[in-house]
Amino acid sequence: MTRSAAEEFEEFLYDAHAAFILAVDGLKWVRLYLDQVVEGSRRLGLNKPSPRLFFAEGDLRPDPPVFAPRLMEDVLRHCLPGGRYSDLVGHGWIVNVYGMWEERFRSEIAQELGLSKVLRCDPMGDFRLMRHDIAHHLGVASRRNTGRCSVLTWFQPGMVISARQEHAKALLDAMAPYLVSWRR
């Protein structure tokens, strides 16, 4: 039996939720690991004032091409909830979920429901507004966009759009009535 577009969208939302949670948790684990590396270095007397973390390409080899050197203290700070890396993961989640809704699932679900007009879904409308601020306002909520969210009212104008795990759960909760109503 083939699944409906609504069922596929629901499955996609669960996958996007899981990927977001795992990525955010992964940043927490990276931070814990790097804290241990820094502490171990201090115990060995290798406490440089500001050690650098180098990202390299490929397998371990004598002279890997190095790119994006970062100060360890910056990496540790950016891995925190609300840090730059966490915000980038959250921005990716919002942009990807909205993009899949708009480019694929919205029209497919509308077609299955026999609708000739655009299918409305308030939580996805809110993600559209947040996506606009991520793409055009450096991830800062504006009054014109995120400030007009009707269901997912997580960020006030002027706030950095910093998605957290509770937001991912809130999206699933907000989507539940829509998903139920779209099932065949």
pLDDT for 96: 98
Residue 21's alpha-carbon distances to 87, 132, 164, in angstroms, are 13, 23, 9
pLDDT at 67: 73
Taking only the tens place, the pLDDT of each residue in 97-147 is: 999 999 999 999 999 999 988 899 999 999 999 999 999 999 999 999 999
- When mean pLDDT is compared across 47-51, 87-91, 119-123, 164-168, the lowest value belongs to 47-51
pTM over 0.75: yes
d(CA 109, CA 115): 9
**Average pLDDT of the residues in 7-24:** 97
Nearest to 130 by CA among 148, 108, 146, 112: 146
- Rounded distance between C-alpha atoms, residue 93 and residue 46, angstroms: 38
Q: Is 101 exposed, middle or buried (0-12, 13-18, 19+ CB in 10 A)?
A: buried
